[in-house]
Structure 1
Amino acid sequence: MFFSDHPFSNLIDSITNEKGEDGKYFNPLKLNDPRYEKLPLSIRILLEAAVRKCDGFYVKKEDVLAILDWQHQQGVAEVPFAPARVLLQDFTGIPAMVDLAAMRDAVAKYGEDPNLVNPKCPTDLIVDHALQIDFSKWNQEMELIRNKERLQFFKWCSKAFRNVNVVPPDFAAVHQVNLEYISRVVQESDGFLFPDSVVGTDSHTTMINGLGILGWGVGGIESEAVMLGQPVSLTLPKVVGCKLVGSISALATSIDIVLGITKHLRQAGIAGKFVEFFGPGVSQLSIPDRTTIANMCPEYSATVSFFPVDDVTLKHFKKTNFTEEKLEMMEAYLKAVKLYRGYQEQSEDPQYSEVVEINLGSIVPHVSGPKRPQDRVAVSDMKQDFLSCLSEKVCFKGFHIPPEKQETLVPFQHGGKEYQLAHGSVVIAAVISCTNNCNPSVMLTAGLLAKKAVEVGLAVKPYIRTSLAPGSGMVTHYLNTSGVLPYLSQLGFEVIGYGCATCVGNTAPLPETVVGAIKQGDLIACGVLSGNRHFEGRLCDCVRANYLASPPLVVAYAIAGTVSIDFERDPLGVNADGKPVFLSDVWPSREEVQHVEEHTVISSIFQDVGVRAEKGNKFWNNIDCSESVLFQWDPKSTYIRCPPFFSNLTKECLAPQSIDNAHALLFLGDKVTTDHISPAGSIARVSAAAKYLQSKRLTPREFNSYGARRGNDAVMTRGTFASIKLQNRFIGKTGPKTLHVPSGQTMDVFEAAERYQKDGIPLIILAGKEYGSGSSRDWAAKGPYLLGVKAVIAESFEKIHRNHLVGMGIIPLQFRPGETADTLELSGKERFSISIPQEIAPKQEITIKSEMDVAFYRHGGILRYVAQRMLAKDY
């Protein structure tokens, strides 16, 4: 960096450490503007980044002034944010890196140096999402063998690209690595100190806000833009101050606190806003508590849930591998720029857009379900609520089971013994990797509960698919050190590996006798998991009711074998003497958990994390890969393929093309999510992707998952709109089918799109409200682009997905207010022509949000935009 001619060079200040070394930094206090100290601390981080990155092009002085005037500009001004780093997990990281490898090919084709193609923003890629549950003790080895091609590509990336750090597989889940190993709170580069910040390709990225590090999840396309030097564009957010008061109940876990806060904030209507916590209750929350709370903010549609750095934060980092010198510099810098919080003086409280007050003492244990995370149920009401769900008509809370069938019992054989299934029977119980395991208190509560349960003779029925996928080796370490891991294993919760499994649809098939019993009785079988995603059909097609619960409650429901239980009145089981054992008999006290936590979660754990990250593992270290600047694509590979995004690339920007005589590929309703659009989970044997893989002589056992094959556009394009829950108005029932209008035939979405493309017919999509809602996914935009979709016409869009469409050269068009496909009497079978002006500009009837959006669209998407700038030597 060169700051001699920086427009805010007068703000440069310095801190001297004990060794007499200076750390320079931009000090916003030297603006001498009283508005700064009234800003929420999360906004102060945005302001510092804008000051430091102000170059007159990506970030202008007007942007800095707009952020400083946050009180009047919130919700109005569009501002840029250049985060300190990018975080990729492998599912979304592999297409990003494949795109960069393809961009190198495109640049080299025109005689330019392919070494130009490197991330400008430091990027960490964590290989963690490929795990499937096969046989618990061999999962890691099987994962490495199954995904060898992908791992070879990642190994090449680690050597070929500058500014890319690859954390090897079988080490930890992405967010654990982020929390324990990568995060720095205060970064240093070119002698300058500045706040750590991050954007990541996963909704759980928000966990990092619990450390006082500003960060949120973005889609793969947006992350690629940041990697290539483009700032994130966002509307200057409103900030809701969440004031925590009262004392935490002895029986409430941090997960209960999470769900309680989630309920309050969802009701407050804070979609798209920042949440910043303050008040005396904050100091009661440990860092693991805070990261768990911050993790759930996407569930109430906030952008971030931010906990400023305070004494608790510093105390936490003293357990880690941070040196005293680093901690002293961190504290001095944060206090110098007013990014350090204390809660004793109310005069230090910022001015928020609004304040929501939550009494922690009012929160009681809950679960969420049976189909949506926002449908919370008090554990004390669980039995009655489930019975009500059986009777309700089919909806988010109902299954419409006739009264005479609600007592159905279906006997079946398993392992030579006879069992019975009923409505509410638990068949999947998973403590998963990506959310709650980062919190030692809830994991230790689960372990201590398991210990007490085994000691009194309780067990889990063997047909229940139990699993424990720790977020990192740290979790296994403290579960083992505390002596509870063997008891979890005795109940079936064996460590199956480190990576996402159940919540992304990678649960091993249920026993055939169990599936048969469920189908025979048309039973509402249940899954219980300690995650934050459980939409119907996501875990397993035949498991229709799924509940989110804290890890100890997952264990409790697994022991009970049913969700139709009142823990206060109904026993979990009987002991060796035949006496009933209740949950209260085996539930560990808060003091007991805290005592074990203090003696197991120690600094050696964090040191071990660093050592293992640097050493990798034997399999990874022995992988051979090319040393070439350009990736050597293997035409036989079914995992890694050069994508066609740069085909017909030109050095010049072509004028926008109008869309003539297009057909609608799909006619969709409201709230079509990225889960409906983007390929995810296992590859169905009758799908278009399966047909492709079979043509490559692969058997169904070798299909792996869509996530593992995100580096192969042929698989991913065929998996686009392949959701069994897609509701296409052309068809009238759920499924991955559509109408090929000219022939009148019903076929797979991919097959119809392929036929349209062969006939040279452009495609559009018709949709209702909130098109593209849900977690951000790059293939939700890349897939439609490769299917030949040129435009999406919807009543409204989820903002990030709308931006992704633009980033892929698909134009998002919105019906005028009051108009819909129905009011216009569209059948979807019409031919559509869309006239796009040659000089397209913001604020035209065609919806374009910003100049950068226009630039991306004119160039055919962000990837082609960057490649053309490189060819024009303007990068």
Structure 2
Amino acid sequence: MWDNISQQMACFIPIALWKQTRTHPMSIEAEATMLGQPMSMVLPGVVGLKLSGKLKEGVTATDLVLTVAQMLRKHGVVGKFVEFYGEGMRELSLEDRATIANMSPDYAAIMGFFRIDNVTLQYLKLIGKYDENVFMIEAYLRANKMFVDYDEPVAETVYSSYLELNLNDIEPCVSGPKRPHDRVLLKEMKEDWHACLSNKVGFKGFAIPKEFRSKVVDFTFNGIPAQLRHGVVVIAAITSCTNTSNVSVMIGAALVAKKACKFGLEVKPWIKTSLAPGSGVVTKWDMIMSPPGAHSVRDAYCLLFFGDSVTTDHISPSGSIYKDSPAARYLTERHPLEGLQLLWESPREWRDGEVGPFTIHIPSGEKMLVYNAAMRYKSEGQDTIVLAGADYGSGSSRDGAAKGPVLLGVKAVIVKSIEHIHRSNLVGMGIIPLCFKQGEDAKMLGLMGHEKYTIELPSNINEIKPGQDVKVVVDSNNSFTCTLRFDTEVELAYFDHGGILQYVIRKLINGA
């Protein structure tokens, strides 16, 4: 029994730990480890940084991490581990923890890490891990005193050295002008900058002679007259790996920008601006702050009608691309791909035996590429669904197989059976997963894929229950019943908001 548990734990514990730890990913040691070599090190000391209190309104994870970087640099943590613990952990989201751990090279520790707690377990559920596995992980960690529950008395841990930080004491700040741990309170930035101009050359100085500190240089930019002086902004960049994937930090930056536009502030044309977040998902965070509300799908056409065993590799292929597809044209227009065979054979089979990434645009009867048909349906304001057989979404757990259908405008999938992880990913993207009743499938119900489908769901999410029966009306005449594969109340909450990301963002902004 324990051998089996150990094998399963090996798949999950590293995820729980890695997501909240950070060592520098580009080191030679890391490269050697990836090539199968062991990494040796002297057993490091462990600095315990106890967090208490709560961040004040307007104070971000970036303010916290700059404060921590300064504090740890001053203490000296080179070659050491830093463990963050204490009651203040209750108030830190996983994104905030990742932001802090990500800065370990900047405060010179081998790594920064956090004890595994309920926030970690919630993350495992968020990425689609089975509830039973998450339960097993929690039980194992509790039994081995590796889990921390802040609702229970926590035993004191022995560290090499101790530090304490009250989150309530942290104020908005910046760092620089040259090092991330040279923290400057935002309210003192102007004074500090002028001091840097006169200070001797170093990390906090430029030694600009007094007679040159007010010097102005005239120039033109695309015919526009302009001036430069010490202290003006010439580069405005939001770029990082973890900081810019932190929802609250990015939304905060967006709200500041929105307010600036409202007051008529504009970026000078000669200022270089860039937004390079750690994840492209950041670009899709524009949304209303309340859930959409309507949940039914009405008069949707079938974009694709599949048989059994459609895998995630079919839905989101990782190999070659069909040579005449929009993706291939997009790539070849920008990067000539001489000699490259671009072909994706989907399991969609036509009456004449042809196989390929095509479908029929039902209203016109035209055969076209799936992407083109999907874009046409979207331009016509028409929802679409997918019909399929058994074992839909089997294979690797790639999230692109759920993101792709959302971007194509798919609102629901109706299948004979569906794989667990792909079902979870669809839920996370706001797509309705439905399963035919036992013993039924599209063929038995006489579905041809040319009909219009209406899925009737209450607009009030509280009237929808996990696993309930759902009526699907076909062409306003016939109907059949499916099982709704939202399996938990949490998944219903995600669906109500249009997906996991929207749910998390609204929760953060609303302070829930």
The alignment's TM-score, normalised by the length of structure 1, stands at: 0.33
Q: Could you tell me which residue of structure 2 aligns to residue 279 of structure 1?
A: 86
1:211-226 mapped onto 2 (5 Å cutoff)? 211-212=19-20, 214-217=21-24, 221-226=28-33
Give the CA deviation at 1:215: 4.8
Q: Secondary structure at the match of 1:318?
A: helix
Matched, 1:375 2:178: no
Aligned residues: 310
Superposed CA RMSD: 3.2
| AA aligned opposite 1:13 | W
* Number of the residue aligned with 2:432: none
Separation of aligned partners in 1, 2:317 and 2:253 = 27
Classify 1:274/1:442 alpha carbon distance in 2 versus 1 (closer, same or farther; 3 Å): same
Q: Distance in 1 between matches of 2:331 and 2:14?
A: 30
Deviation at 1:418, TM superposition (A): 1.7
1:288 aligns with 95
Residues 782-802 of structure 1, C-alpha deviations (whole Å, 9 max, x = no match): xxxxxxxxxxxxxxxxxxxxx
Residue 46 of structure 2 is matched in structure 1 by 239
Question: The residue matched to 1:467 in structure 2 has which SS?
Answer: strand
Counterpart residue type for residue 402 of structure 1: P
CA distance in 1, matches of 2:55, 2:237: 26
2:66 pairs with one of 259, 275, 290:
259
Determine whether 1:448 maps to 2:283.
no
Report the 3-state secondary structure (helix = DSSP H, G, I; strand = E; otherwise coil) of the residue aligned with 2:241.
coil
- TM-score when scaled to structure 2? 0.55
Distance 1:612 1:274, change over 3 A: farther
Alignment of 1:92-103 (within 5 A): none
**Pairing 1:59-458 to 2, within 5 Å after superposition:** 187-188=10-11, 195-196=13-14, 211-212=19-20, 214-217=21-24, 221-458=28-265
Would the aligned equivalents of 1:211 and 1:309 in 2 still touch at CA under 8 Å?
no
Return the alpha-carbon distance in structure 1 between the equivalents of residues 175 and 339 of structure 2.
46
Find the aligned partners of 1:292 and 1:371 in 2 and give their Cα distance: 20
Aligned partner letter, 1:248? L
- Offset at residue 306 of structure 1 (A): 0.5
TM-superposed CA distance for 1:450, in Å, is 1.4
- CA separation of 1:221 and 1:445: change in aligned 2, threshold 3 A: closer
CA contact (8 A) 1:264 1:358 kept: no
For 1:276 and 1:220, how far apart are their aligned partners in 2? 21
Structure 2 CA distance for aligned equivalents of residues 428 and 23 of structure 1? 53
Task: Describe the SS at the equivalent of 1:234.
Answer: coil
Q: 1:442 to 1:209 in 2, by over 3 A?
A: farther
Give 2:5's match in structure 1, choosing from 8, 20, 23. 23
Deviation at 1:438, TM superposition (A): 1.5
CA distance in 2, matches of 1:304, 1:625: 46
Other-structure match for 2:268:
461
Contact 2:79 2:108 in 1 (8 A): yes
Letter of the 1:24 partner, please give it.
S
Deviation at 1:263, TM superposition (A): 1.6
Partner residue of 2:2? Answer: 13
Cα distance, 1:295 vs structure 2: 0.9
- Cα deviation for residue 378 of structure 1 reads 0.9
Deviations 1:373-426 (A, max 9, x none): 221111111111111111112111111111122111222222332222110011
Change over 3 Å in CA distance of 1:432–1:409 after alignment to 2: same
**Change over 3 Å in CA distance of 1:267–1:420 after alignment to 2:** same
8 A Cα contact 1:209 1:304, kept in partner: no
Post-superposition offset of 1:293: 0.8
Alignment of 1:620-659 (within 5 A): none
Change (3 A) 1:615 1:481: farther
Q: Structure 1 residues 460, 335: CA separation in 2 closer, same or farther (over 3 Å shift)? A: same
Letter in 2 for 1:278: Y
- 3-state SS of the aligned residue for 2:2? strand
Cα distance in 2 for residues equivalent to 1:394 and 1:325: 60
Change in Cα spacing, 1:399 to 1:224, as seen in structure 2 (3 Å) is closer
User: Distance between the aligned counterparts of 1:227 and 1:250, measured in 2?
Assistant: 42
* Deviation at residue 327 of structure 1 after TM alignment: 2.7
Rounded to whole Å, the distance in 2 between the matches of 1:229 and 1:272 is: 23
| Cα displacement (A) at 1:209 | 5.8
- In 2, Cα distance between the equivalents of 1:228 and 1:320? 27
Amino acid at match of 1:445: G
The separation in 1 between residues aligned to 2:62 and 2:132, in whole angstroms, is: 34
User: After alignment, is 418-427 or 408-417 more displaced?
Assistant: 408-417
Q: Flag the 1:298–1:223 CA change in 2: closer, same or farther, 3 A.
A: closer
Partner of 1:81: none
How far, CA to CA, are the matches of 2:69 and 2:57 in structure 1?
Answer: 20
Distance 1:352-1:420 versus aligned 2 partners, 3 A rule: same
Label 1:427 to 1:448 Cα distance change in 2 as closer, same or farther (>3 A): same
Q: How far does residue 350 in structure 1 lie from its aligned partner after superposition?
A: 2.6
Residue type of the partner of 1:233?
A: S
Q: Deviations over 1:467-522 (max 9, x none)?
A: 111221221122x335xxxxxxxxxxxxxxxxxxxxxxxxxxxxxxxxxxxxxxxx
Structure 1 residues 210, 288: closer, same or farther in 2, change over 3 A?
Answer: farther
The answer as to whether partners of 1:271 and 1:302 remain within 8 angstroms in 2 is yes
Distance 1:443 1:301 in 2: 26
Q: 1:613 to 1:365 in 2, by over 3 A?
A: farther
CA deviation map 1:436-481 (0-9, x unaligned): 1120001000111112221232211111000111221221122x33
Q: What CA distance in whole angstroms lies between the structure 2 residues aligned with 1:393 and 1:242?
A: 34
Asked if the contact 2:60/2:172 (under 8 Å) is kept, the reply is yes
Mapping of residues 581-592 of structure 1, within 5 Å? none
The range that moved more, 343-352 or 425-434, is 343-352
Change (3 A) 1:291 1:615: farther
Secondary structure at the aligned position of 2:48 is classed as: strand
Shift of 1:626: 10
Q: How much does 1:223 deviate?
A: 3.2
Instruction: Give the partner amino acid of 2:19.
Output: L
Q: Structure 2: which amino acid aligns with 1:313?
A: T
SS of residue paired to 2:23: strand
**Once the 2 structures are TM-superposed, how far is the Cα of residue 25 of structure 1 from its aligned partner?**
5.1
Per-residue Cα deviation, 1:502-549 (whole angstroms, up to 9, x for no partner): xxxxxxxxxxxxxxxxxxxxxxxxxxxxxxxxxxxxxxxxxxxxxxxx
User: What is the one-letter code of the residue matched to 2:287?
Assistant: T
* Structure 2 CA distance for partners of 1:412 and 1:458, relative to 1, 3 Å: same
Cα pair distance change 1:450/1:228, threshold 3 Å:
closer
Is contact 1:427-1:464 (8 Å) kept? yes
Q: Secondary structure at the match of 1:282?
A: helix
Deviation for aligned residue 1:313: 1.9
Show structure 2 runs of 5+ residues with no match: 293-311, 322-326, 342-512
User: Partners in 1 of 2:222 and 2:191 — Cα distance?
Assistant: 32
- CA 1:331–1:428 in structure 2 vs 1: closer, same or farther (change >3 Å)? same
